[in-house]
Chains A and B, each alone.
Chain A
Amino acid sequence: MGEVELSCLAYVKMYLHGCLFPRCSVNGLLLSSSPAGGAVCVTDCVPLLHSHLPLAPITQLGLTQVDVWCAQTQQRIVGYYQANACVSDNSPTPCALKIADKIAEQCNNAVLLMIDGGKMSPDYRVPPIVMYERKDTRWTLKDKHTIMLRQWEETREIANQLLDSGDHSLLVDFDSHLDDITRDWTNQKLNAKIAELASPANAFTAALPPGGGTVSIVKFTWISLTARGRQQTVKSMSINHMLLELHRMKRQWLRDPASTNIEIQCLTDMTLR
């Protein structure tokens, strides 16, 4: 069938949702802000539940609220994702198929995405996802070549960074929202953070002046010996992030000069005009 593109934002949030609740099955909805027809472009996702996935009331509530929110923000529900608690089994459960069927009623090219827990390691070469599409009335495996995830390496790095810094606890799914309704399941804060980390790839192409010109990319590695003698390596890719890291390094160095070794390596050095 058609092509499916998965955005960085959607992938990172799905991944963090799985990491936030490693012992539970989690699920959520995939959204798209592009108009219907043509390739399906998944631009965002809403994490839903991490407990009692097969039970109806909260799922119905979640679907309805996300529907309303989508209407308010010109998005559509185009898919469903799930990660099973049991790492060795990543086949869609009956409740996954049910919800996906319901979504497919409204959206022709709906996709069902299963996250493969066994392949969720920090340096895996391909995204740990398995996608299904609806042919006739059954959900069948989608051809891998029709699934696109632009800039996979950068996306993976962003996810790892957020995990390392503990920011994945910022993610709010619908279940957590019901436990404390002051928390926002649309995750505006986390979206902003991800957008900030994702911006360099776009910023550099945008910063290229017409008629040639070059960009400066600095990747630096900061090695710090923390109190327990553990080494922490930080690779930075965006100017904002670099400034943040420099600030952190300065604070650490002021606190304890002996424990901080700073190494800056400049890769790919081209000057910006």
Chain B
Amino acid sequence: MLRKVAKLLYFDNWNVLIIVFTEMRDKLRKWREDNHRNSEQIVDVGEELINEHASKLGDDIWIIYEQVMIAALDCSRDDLAWTCLQELKRQFPGSQRVKRLAGMRLEALEKYEDASKQYDSILQDDPTNTAARKRKISILKAQGKSAEAIRELNEYLEQFVGDQEAWHELSELYINEHDYGKAAFCLEELMMTNPHNHLYCEQYAEVKYTQGGLENLELSRKYFAQALKLNNRNMRALFGLYMSASHIAACPKVNATVKKANVKYAAWATNQINRAYQLAGRGTKENKCSVKAVEEMLESMQITMS
């Protein structure tokens, strides 16, 4: 849409052209700040910005080159990535940051040995360079060596305890290895430093649910409830609360009071789910099938519970 507007008004109105160009630049900035990985869009907007409006960008152009290069690697556009890299090399010769980008390009071409050597040379000059260490771990992940990646990441976290991104990555690696206890530990670290993040609560609850057993189910129900308190529109937490409460209530080991309480929680959750789906069902004919499926599912699960 933006591109078409730019073409039509190119020779008509210089002022409008400026507005369109600033919109593109602001979009890229927003994506950069929010750390979005919408690489196809970044390549589209960024390529045009670089090719046609380079002179107006001023010093912003270097960070845009970096952003577009990484997006280009994601989309297999080695031509564009190479151009960006050359510009950056010319402007910042000997920079560690540019060296890391060169390493990433080698990774994208699957030349993992060469990429590793590149990162090693960065680390020789600067052993505290976290970016290079994390890229080395990514190489291990890409090669499917998850045990080694986990080991390296653990070592990294001993030195850099506050790195949220690393803790989250470690929790994902543990989940894929089905080591739920350790994944829960990583998520606990994240919840401690980010008590208002409903996503961490909900993920922790999911891990606890997967571990199974009455204690873990109760914990999972509590954390699903916590996630809902932080964000009452988190559907996963709502469904999770419903399922964990139902399972506890159906467990033969619980006493009558616990069972009664959990039946109440499950009923509340059912109510909320039905309401949410009714609200969603209004106005769109599309999702009638999915709404019907949920209604029946909730009915059928209630029957098995009582």
Contact = CB atoms under 8 A, between A and B. Distances in A.
B106 interface: no
Interface string A51-63: 0101111101100
Contact of A227 (B3, B206, B280, B292): B3
B293 A181 contact: no
Interface stretch (B14-22, B158-166, B234-242, B250-258): B234-242
A66 B296 CA distance: 11
Interface in A86-104: 86, 88-89, 93-95
B192 interface: no
27 contacts: A54-B175, A55-B207, A56-B209, A56-B210, A57-B206, A57-B209, A57-B220, A57-B239, A57-B243, A58-B206, A64-B297, A64-B301, A69-B290, A69-B292, A72-B289, A72-B293, A72-B296, A86-B142, A88-B144, A178-B236, A181-B235, A181-B276, A181-B290, A182-B280, A182-B284, A186-B289, A188-B286
Contacts of B172: 52
Interface in A177-195: 177-179, 181-186, 188-189
A68 interface: yes
Q: Which 10 A-B pairs have the closest CB atoms?
A: A56-B210, A184-B287, A69-B293, A186-B289, A184-B286, A181-B280, A55-B206, A68-B297, A68-B296, A182-B280
Interface in B90-142: 142
A93 B176 CA distance: 9
Contact of A54 (B3, B7, B210, B244): B210
A189 B178 CA distance: 36
B280 A54 contact: no
A65 interface: yes
Contacts of A86: 142, 144
B297 A65 contact: yes
Interface in B190-237: 203, 205-207, 209-210, 212, 220, 235-236
A54 B206 CA distance: 10
B92 to A, nearest CB: 29
Contacts of B286: 182-184, 188-189
B287 A55 contact: no
A28 to B, nearest CB: 15
A33 B154 CA distance: 49
A223 B236 CA distance: 47
Interface string A21-60: 0010000000000000000000000000000101111101
Interface of A: 23, 52, 54-58, 60-61, 64-66, 68-69, 71-73, 86, 88-89, 93-95, 177-179, 181-186, 188-189, 227
Given A52-B172, A68-B297, 14 more contacts: A54-B178, A56-B206, A57-B220, A65-B290, A65-B297, A69-B290, A72-B293, A73-B289, A86-B144, A88-B143, A89-B144, A94-B178, A181-B290, A227-B7
Contacts of B143: 88
Q: Which of A72, A179, A186 has the most CB of B within 10 A?
A: A186
B294 interface: yes
A interface: dominant SS: helix
Contact of B240 (A57, A65, A182, A186): A57
Chain B binding site: helix, strand, loop or mixed by DSSP?
Answer: helix
B243 A61 contact: yes
Given A72-B296, A182-B284, A185-B290, A55 B210 contact: yes
Contacts of A52: 172, 175, 203, 206
A60 B243 contact: yes
B239 A61 contact: yes
Interface of B: 3, 7, 37, 142-144, 172, 175-176, 178, 203, 205-207, 209-210, 212, 220, 235-236, 239-240, 243-244, 276-277, 280, 284, 286-287, 289-290, 292-294, 296-297, 300-301
A72 B143 CA distance: 44
A57 B294 CA distance: 15
A68 B236 CA distance: 19
A54 B177 CA distance: 9
A52 B187 CA distance: 14
B243 A184 contact: no
A226 to B, nearest CB: 10
B289 A184 contact: yes
Residue among A86, A181, A185, A188 facing the most chain B CB atoms (10 A cut-off): A181
A57 B236 CA distance: 9
A55 B175 contact: yes
Most buried by A among B207, B220, B301: B207
Contacts of A178: 235-236, 239
B7 A69 contact: no
B287 A68 contact: no
A224 to B, nearest CB: 15
Nearest to B211: A56
B223 to A, nearest CB: 12
A94 B179 CA distance: 12
